[in-house]
Structure 1
Amino acid sequence: MGDLSLRDRLTGIVGPTLARRVIALLDEEALTPCRDTDCVRIRSHSRLGFHLWRHPVGAPIVRGLLGRKCFNCGQYAWRRIHRAGPAS
């Protein structure tokens, strides 16, 4: 099944009509720039690519060289991904 394209796999699962609609939706989302306030990325990217959501710091799993690390993502607790997003 790995040899089939995404279109062929979707067509086999949901049928040709729904497969066309899903692929059209994915194409539209790939072209739409991300404007999510909880996204950490600074540079422009699509809604489907390179998206990182902010989240609260989880319980630290290890003490790293530069401080505590988040249980959820493994990054240091002081990184931008853990800060509150801009107020809307």
Structure 2
Amino acid sequence: MADIRNRIAEVVGAQSAEQIIHILEEEGAQRCRDTNCIRLRPHSRLSVHRWRHVAVAPLSPGVLGRRCLTCGQPSWRRIHRTGRTIR
């Protein structure tokens, strides 16, 4: 974390860097509660998310059915179910 702190301090100054690091630490400690994120295991707000979206055409045929152009997953996967919560 010291390396990141130094890099931020070079850009915005020491006092602002401390404030930014404090905000990032708080966000890292908070759990993600976004209803469009489909990750099953608990993770922080700063972690990588997998967002729900509508399957985008043209849907190319595949072994397991038609595939979404955006993510490449079959269109029946839960990542394409919008408006429903998993939790």
TM range (shorter): 0.7 to 0.9
Q: Which runs of 5+ in 2 are unaligned?
A: none
**1:54 aligned residue:** 52
Distance 2:51 2:37 in 1: 5
**2:72 aligned residue:** 74
Partner of 1:26, secondary structure, is: helix
**1:13 aligned residue:** 11
Task: State TM-score, norm by structure 2.
Answer: 0.83
Partner of 2:15, secondary structure, is: helix
Measured after TM superposition, the shift of residue 17 of structure 1 is 1.4
How many percent identity over aligned positions? 49
Correspondence 1:20-39 to 2 at 5 A: 20-39=18-37
Q: Which amino acid counterpart does residue 32 of structure 1 have in structure 2?
A: Q
**1:85 aligned residue:** 83
Give every structure 1 segment of 4 or more consecutive aligned residues whose post-TM-superposition deviation is greater than 6 Å.
Answer: none
Distance 2:21 2:83 in 1: 31
